Homo-oligomer: A and B are copies of this chain.
Amino acid sequence: MLTVGVDIGGTKIGAGVVDPDGELLASTKHPTDPTDPAEIEAAVVSAVSELRESYDVTAVGVAAAGYVSPQRDGMVFAPNIAWRDYPLRDRLVGGIDLPIVIENDANAAGWAEFRFGAGRDVDHMVMLTVGTGLGGAVIFDGTLLRGAFGAAGEFGHMEMVPHGHFCGCGQEGCWEMYASGRALTRAARAAVVAQPDRSEGIVQAAGGPDKKVKGTHVTAAAEVGDPLATELLDELGRWLGKGISDLAAVVDPQLAVVGGGVVAAGDLLLDPARDAFRRHLTARGFRGELRIEPAEMGNEAGMIGAADLART
Contacts from A to B (Cβ < 8 Å): 67, 70, 76-77, 84-85, 122-124, 136, 138, 140-141, 143, 145-172, 174, 178, 186, 190-197, 242, 245-254, 279-280, 282-290
| A165→B164 contact, CB < 8 A | yes
Q: Do A152 and B284 form a contact, CB below 8 Å, given A164-B163, A279-B195?
A: no
Cα-based distance from A248 to B155 in the complex (angstroms): 9
Q: So how many copies of this chain end up in the complex? A: 4
Roughly how many angstroms separate A249 CA and B151 CA in the complex, as a whole number?
A: 7
Q: Is the CB of A194 within 8 A of B286?
A: no
Say yes or no: B151 contacts A248, CB within 8 Å.
yes
Q: Which residues of B are found within 8 Å of A159, using beta-carbon distances?
A: 160, 242, 245-246, 280
> Would you give the shortest CB distance from A111 to chain B, in whole angstroms?
16
* 8 nearest CB pairs, A to B: A147-B252, A170-B194, A149-B288, A170-B193, A77-B286, A157-B282, A152-B252, A148-B254
Contact call A197/B251, Cβ cutoff below 8 A: no
Partner of A186, one of B143, B154, B166, B290: B166
Which residues from B are CB-within-8-Å of A190? 166, 170-172
- State whether B163 touches A252 (Cβ < 8 A): no
Contact B155 A252 (CB under 8 A): no
